[in-house]
Amino acid sequence: MAKAKGDIIINIEKCKGCELCIEACPEDTLELSKKVNQKGYLYAVKVEDTCTGCTNCALVCPDGSITVYRKIVGKKKELITKITNVTSDMTLKVGK
Ligand code: SF4
Ligand code: SF4
């Protein structure tokens, strides 16, 4: 069976270091940085290559700082979630 592998990109200048994504990640992929961004906040960084692309981190981020990708082995990387400025209820379905 094809194996899914995830990846994320964090916009560190939008991150305020609230750590919600770190708490929400079931794979312990994220930690808080040791350095600060231009606004003076510690920011979330990927520290393990364990991401499955579950999208939890992007869903909980209040600043829309995380973009999630997922790659099925042998296929191209595919954009899964980019969530910005959510102002009302939303439904997100991930997977096939
Ligand atoms: S997509 Fe899921 S596994 Fe990947 S970093 Fe975010 S919460 Fe963790
Ligand atoms: S949830 Fe968003 S703002 Fe909070 S630490 Fe993670 S990336 Fe930064």
Q: Domain-by-domain residue ranges, the chain?
A: 4-82
Cα of 38 to ligand 1 centre, how many Å?
25
| Domain 4-82, CATH | 3.30.70.20
The residue assigned the tokens 């991401």 is 51
pTM over 0.85: no
3-class DSSP state for residue 6?
strand
> In this predicted model, which residue has the larger pLDDT, 73 or 17?
17
- pLDDT value of position 21: 96
- pLDDT value of position 49: 92
Average pLDDT over residues 81-87: 69
User: What tokens appear for 42 in the block?
Assistant: 């510690």
pLDDT tens, residue by residue, 1-58: 556 688 999 999 999 999 999 999 999 999 999 999 999 999 999 999 999 989 999 9
Closest protein CA for atom 4 of ligand 1: 51
Of the listed ligands, the closest to the CA of 33 is 2
- pLDDT value of position 82: 75
